[in-house]
Amino acid sequence: MKRILRRLLKAFLIVFILLNIILVFHAYKFTHFYDEGEITLKKPEEISGWDKAGTMLFGINAVKSKNMVVPGVNYEVIKLETNDELQLEGWYMPVDSAKGTVIMFHGHGGSKSKILDEAYYIRSLGFNILLMDFRAHGGSGGNTCTIGVKEASDVKLAYEFIQSKGAKNIVLWGVSLGAATVIHSMNEYKLQPSKVILDMPFGTLVEAVEGRMRMMGLPPEPLSRMLTFWGGAENGFWAFNMKPCDDAKSINCPALLEWGAKDPRVTRAETDCIYKNISSVQKKLVIYESAGHESFCKKENEKWKAAMKDFLLN
């Protein structure tokens, strides 16, 4: 019996070690973007069975995003340097007699060019626009994304830049990772914008990983917590402290929270938790019934425009 138990224990340890090795690779791929040309991405029809097995074992390779288009209006390229010596790129699009400035942040794997449609409409309402690329995205430096932890300082840097221009009415807008990071930054650095717009932020970093696991067809538990741990360990932070749901308690300005009812990544429970914890009495939740984890501007344009106009101008 003792021999059998020892063998079972040995087998368990081997499986546990191998599982953690696999998760170390997945965590790296989740938080790292390769430069263009550094790796070769195959087309779907070129992917073999071994390629699929390799993806399951070692994670999905992702190339750093690019800005495929530039603004079709007058704009200025902004360069901001982080404390860890990365250069962030932004596009500043001013208007005459501005009602305020909206600073906009994209999602994971995105870039500022992907939220230009949203920017154009908000600008048409009379607001200056600052579109920012997070670190490891678009025109900004770096290759490592910490899913909102270090990016919170990117939000702070952009906010302070607009403050330095004498702006008073500053609005923070974020989508997905951008929204979660805005919430985290407001709590971490005590930012006090005039208003905040949050599109489909995740509730905690663990839940963000769970969403990714669901999209990959993998069981969230216990893998999501293990993957979260390794993602933080590899990048020098305690990942379990990234909790936008709890951070939302620091939001005491008017807040608009938006979510798509068909979202496969962010759950209604996460959304309700954030909404409940927003301290401001001036808060509103808008749900887009036909939308998933995607641009509400593109999916339900008229409803989205009405929500933006009502929130920003009233």
CATH code of the domain covering residue 132: 3.40.50.1820
**101 and 46, same structural domain?**
no
**137 and 97, same structural domain?**
yes
Per mean pLDDT, which range of 90-99, 162-171, 208-217 is the poorest? 208-217
Contacts for 208 with CB less than 8 Å, ≥ 6 apart: 147, 180, 202, 265
Is 274 a member of any domain? Answer: yes
**168 and 294, same structural domain?**
yes
Dist CA 230 CA 289 (whole Å): 35
Burial status of residue 192 (CB atoms within 10 A of its CB: 0-12, 13-18, 19 or more): exposed
Is 178 a member of any domain? Answer: yes
Is 149 a member of any domain? Answer: yes
pLDDT for 8-59, tens place per residue? 888 888 888 888 888 898 889 889 999 987 776 554 444 455 555 666 677 7
**123 and 191, same structural domain?**
yes
Kindly state the tokens that stand for 255: 């807040």
**125 and 12, same structural domain?**
no
**19 and 102, same structural domain?**
no
| Helix pair 49-58, 2-31: axis angle to 10 deg | 100
C-alpha separations of 139 from 61, 87, 168, 172, 295 in Å? 19, 9, 27, 20, 21
Dist CA 268 CA 215 (whole Å): 16
Is 230 a member of any domain? Answer: no
**289 and 161, same structural domain?**
yes
Is 263 a member of any domain? Answer: yes
64 secondary structure, DSSP code: P
| Largest pairwise CA distance in the chain | 82
305 secondary structure, DSSP code: H
Tell me which residue range forms the domain holding 120. Answer: 76-204+242-313
What is the reported pLDDT for 3?
80
Find the length of the chain. Answer: 314
pLDDT for 275-288, tens place per residue? 999 999 999 999 99
**44 and 125, same structural domain?**
no
**172 and 45, same structural domain?**
no
**Per the structure, how many domains does the chain have?**
2
Is 236 a member of any domain? Answer: no
221 secondary structure, DSSP code: T
pLDDT for 191-250, tens place per residue? 999 999 999 999 999 999 998 878 767 667 778 899 999 999 999 999 999 999 999 999
pTM: 0.92
**81 and 14, same structural domain?**
no
Is 223 a member of any domain? Answer: no
**130 and 96, same structural domain?**
yes
Is 304 a member of any domain? Answer: yes
Q: Which residue reads 């230009």 in tokens?
A: 116
**15 and 138, same structural domain?**
no
